[in-house]
Every structure is written in C-alpha cells, then in structure tokens.
Chain A
Amino acid sequence: EVQLVESGGGLVQPGRSLRLSCTASGFSFREFAMGWVRQAPGKGLEWIGFIRNKPYGGTTEYAASLKGRFAISRDDSKSIAYLQMNSLKTEDTGVYYCTRDPLVYDTAMKDYYYYMDVWGKGTTVAVSS
C-alpha cells in the first residue's frame, strides 16, 4: 500500500525552527518528486513547495511567500522527505501535508506536468508563545 506518514509537528514558539519528516512506503521513493502543502485552521490549501527526484536534478521550487524561511530536502536511502521551517510565525500554524508528485505526459498539451497524487494524513504545527 502506498503510504506517506508525516511527523515532527507540535507546539513551537514564534521565531523558533521545526523540521517535519515524511516517511514514504509502498512505492519507489527515488522515482518521484515530493512536496508539501499546508492548511491553516478553517482555511484553504496552500502549496509550500516540492523537490524533484535526482534524474531531474533534485532541485526545489517554493511558494514565493515562503522562500528563504522554508527548505525541502530528501534522503532517498531512507525514503524520507523533510521540511525545514525557520523563523516561524503565528500564521504558520496549521496542518502540514506531504504529497507524492508524479510527472505525467499530457498528450493533448504535448508536455510534461507534475501533480499531487498521494497525500499523507498531515501533522499539526502550532506556533504560539
């Protein structure tokens, strides 16, 4: 069974750091890009960023509003993706989801596109003094 399990959430004071982990199982981790999405209480989904797999350079992309504070990395030997969050603010409070991001060829558009096909159950981060 394909599964993503997030961990590392909790209560943290403003200005501190936190690292979330996403442990994958049931598929070949190194063949997929991996991403993170968050959801503030009662709000919609917000894309955080993703990391490509090594054949595509292992490079990262981030939401402009979070670039510089958040960083995504991966350890293919352990099938784990990480989200390092620094200088946390109260508005970073929410549920953080890990996603598997396959690359698919669209015949109509004649191009390749990423999408988020598998989601973890999420881990809750609360930033408060």
Chain B
Amino acid sequence: QSVVTQPPSASGTPGQRVTISCSGSSSNIGSNTVNWYQQLPGTAPKLLIYSNNQRPSGVPDRFSGSKSGTSASLAISGLQSEDEADYYCAAWDDSLNGFVFGTGTKVTVL
C-alpha cells in the first residue's frame, strides 16, 4: 500500500483543464522534489515533470506541475485525446530511504 495517494480517476472533455493531486507526507513530498510520469496503455512510463515543475524537452507546455507542503499537482490544460493514460507521481522518501510512487490516476477524455 503506497504512502502517496492520488485519486483513482479523472476526466474531462477535449480542451478542458484537468488537475491531478498527489498527497504525501513530510518524509517524502514535504522534503523532496516530485516527479510525474505518464503511462499510455501498453507502454512504459514516460517522464513528464521533474523537480516539481520542470518539463523535459519534448513535453508539451500543456503539462505543468506544482508543489505545496506535502501535496503536489499535475495540470493538463487543453486536454487532448492522446492524453488518455495513467499518471503517477513519485518522490524520494527519507524514512523509507527509497522512492515511492503515488497510487496512480487514470485520465479519461470524454
């Protein structure tokens, strides 16, 4: 059972803005940076956001990340059909001395 929780699902129509939350504790999100990953059906995860709000080259600026206290958020603006995927947050946990992944959120484009 993960110590970092996400809502199991989120949805929106094309063009809408969708936000996914990631809730942790002082030992993980509260004291380390948060990264976000997108996993399209049947494929390996792909890095979307690192260091809370940094986008790797090639990731559209429709994706943005933020962190406050022991929670983080991923926002997808201008939702597109190809954004339908599972999204995971991850952070180092100082108590566990390892990475923890969030429980994952399935985004559906209606």
Contacts and interface: CB of A to CB of B under 8 A. Distances in A.
Same assembly: yes
Interface of A: 35, 37, 44-47, 49-50, 61-64, 97, 104, 106, 108-109, 113-122
Looking at B39, B43, B51, which has the most chain A CB atoms within 10 Å of its CB?
Answer: B51
Contacts of B101: 37, 44-47
A44 B98 contact: no
A122 B44 contact: yes
A44 B103 contact: yes
A117 B2 contact: no
A49 to B, nearest CB: 7
Contacts of B56: 117
A116 B34 CA distance: 11
A80 B97 CA distance: 24
A64 B86 CA distance: 25
Which 3 A/B pairs are nearest by Cβ-Cβ distance? A47-B99, A44-B104, A45-B101
B44 A121 contact: yes
Nearest to A6: B44
A114 B51 contact: no
A104 B52 CA distance: 12
Contacts of B12: none
B52 A108 contact: yes
A120 B50 contact: no
Contacts of B37: 45, 116
Nearest to A122: B44
A118 B37 CA distance: 11
B90 interface: yes
